A and B are shown apart, each in its own frame.
Chain A
Amino acid sequence: MSERLHGVIAEFDRAESLEAAVRDARDAGYTRMDAFSPFPLRETAALLGARPGVVFRIAVIAGLIGAILQYGSQYWMNAVDYPINVGGRPLHSWPAFLPSTVIVAILWAGAAALLSMLFILHLPRLHHPVFAVKDFERASEDRFFLLIQSDDPRFDLPGVHAFLQARRPTAVREVPA
């Protein structure tokens, strides 16, 4: 039981050390790893395979769906299902349908961007093995962490320890599963 590990985590006190360590780990062939930082690190995220552009695409698609639904429902309700003739004005009065079409498209796009972001990141997830690591609470303040997970195909405990120690971290700790 106690031998099951989530991985091994190294603590750094500089963002630059973390980025270098991630680069080395990738070059050494590790694939199942994660890095933790108190603020966004764009290059490090790209090294770890983050593709945040997908959020933008989701927002565009959701916005289009919202716009089509809103415009379509206005057209169908006011011109087809329940047409009201007001002084002979056209039933399909498209300029009057535009403001809420734009607004609802923004509603869909905005909600989709933020909610899909949480969904992609598997949040909310209140518990995670890394929270059990000593001093990990400083990942939200001033420390940087590199985690190599035990499900990595190249994971062998002494080897990972040696690899992380060679990156000159302030500490290396094992993360219980």
Chain B
Amino acid sequence: MRSRARSITTPVAEIPLAPHFGPLWWGGLLVALSLVGLLGLTLVSSLIFGVGLWGVNIPNVWGFDLINYAWWIGIANGASLFAATLVLRRHDLRTAVNRFAESVALFGVICAGMFPIVHLGRPWLFYWVFPYPATYQVWPQFRSTLTWDFWAISTHAIVTTLLWYVGLIPDLATLRDRARRPLAKRVYGVLALGWRGSVRHWSYHQAAYRVVAILVLPLILVMQSTVAFEFATTLVPGWHETRLPLHFVATGLVQGLSMVLVIAMLLRRFLRLERYIDDYDVELLGKLTLASALVCGYLYFDEFMAILLSGPRQQIAGLNRMTGEYAGLYWAAVVYTVLIPQILWIKAARRSVVATVFVGLGISAGLWFDRFSLIVGGFQRDYLPSTWRSYAPTITETGLLVGTVGLFAALLLLFVRFIPVVSMFETRHDEHEEAS
């Protein structure tokens, strides 16, 4: 028992405490940080010169800003929803994947939160949506979906951060106790808040963790619906649909799952964590991704039927998405999110790193194409034919997108380096339950 518990903790704890990390990690971090630099550059230039640097204009008032926002928040929400479900079901898979599923959610919401703020045009006044007693004596308009979004993003960010950190405290204490270097001991010691593993503390800790996991479920559903409402409450053809919240929630789930799958496979491979993220876990993740890809396929079919059943304006806008200028993106979305994941029916594909990473990243890219098609397609065939214009992103907008991908990658690499990627105490608990 003794040696066993120790041998569980050691490999996971050794990773953050290792004095050196391979050149691959440094190379990856360097690339990611240079993209973060690009993000800084494009953000600052968007602040100084304004959104005139972007390709958005009447009628295409929303472009990459909202596409990227909806995309990142989908990743964050999907990963959160998945993690919370596993905790509530006390599913074995949670031990293996929860820590980094929550991290994906946290880093996703950081990337997402940036876009609605820069897109305001005068981002330094973003606090105007908060109801504070302003000198103009005007209150925010709470009937606007944009104020709902303010609450949704800030709540998501706060609750995800708290949940992630509180779940981490006992593992930070393990790192504090195992650290040899004084600096590491001190930093982990302060972050562990003096956790001493009291059995009483454990029971309150677990209770609070489960309460918040319960709360995350409705939060994610409301939040993802709020994102969809931002579109649905406008009159733009293709957006003004009651099915949109369902579309966003369900396609967000496949996005989050695919990202968790990709990271699970990479961690397993590069940190040699096969014992913690075992074949069963990977198989199950692959099957879940496949199932949610089928749901995605159903939603595309439903969207098609909704277009056929709607008015002539909506039909023109809908058919334009499938045959117009950006038809390639619409069909790419279908191929990447529904057709390619079908290879996960094959057992060998579910276990192969190359295949799952390809499918997972493909799903993420496909969902980005879907958001692009939805947002740009709606404007291209608005009610007034005289305003029919197209939209193309500028280099600044592309820089913002690539920059957030870099930020996400950099945060993930730092997470892998300094924080135990698999919950050590959950693993100990599981092995204890199995033994007894």
Contacts and interface: CB of A to CB of B under 8 A. Distances in A.
Interface centre among B138, B200, B206 (most CB of A within 10 A): B200
A155 B264 CA distance: 51
Contact of B142 (A52, A74, A115, A116): A74
Contact of A103 (B151, B177, B426, B428): B151
Given A137-B177, A142-B5, A114 B204 contact: no
Nearest to A41: B199
A42 interface: yes
A113 interface: yes
Contacts of A40: 199, 202-203, 205-206, 425, 429
A34 B200 CA distance: 8
A15 B429 CA distance: 11
A117 B205 contact: yes
A53 B429 CA distance: 21
Interface in A105-136: 106-107, 109-111, 113-118, 120-121, 123-128, 130-131, 136
Nearest to A138: B177
Contacts, number: 210
A contact patch SS: helix
B155 A117 contact: no
Contacts of A5: none
B44 interface: no
How many residues of B sit at the interface, in one of the four size bands? Answer: 35 or more
B201 interface: yes
B31 interface: no
Interface residues of A, number: 71
B292 interface: no
Contacts of B432: 15, 39
Interface stretch (B104-112, B215-223, B255-263, B366-374): B215-223
A111 B143 contact: no
A150 interface: no
Given A107-B158, A113-B211, A117-B166, A37 B141 contact: no
B2 interface: yes
A99 B143 contact: no
Interface in B196-244: 196-208, 211-212, 215-216, 218-219, 222-223, 225-226, 229
Contacts of A106: 155, 159, 215, 218-219, 222
Given A16-B436, A140-B176, 19 more contacts: A40-B206, A45-B200, A45-B202, A52-B204, A55-B211, A59-B211, A77-B142, A78-B139, A78-B143, A99-B225, A106-B155, A107-B155, A110-B159, A113-B208, A117-B166, A128-B194, A140-B170, A140-B195, A141-B177
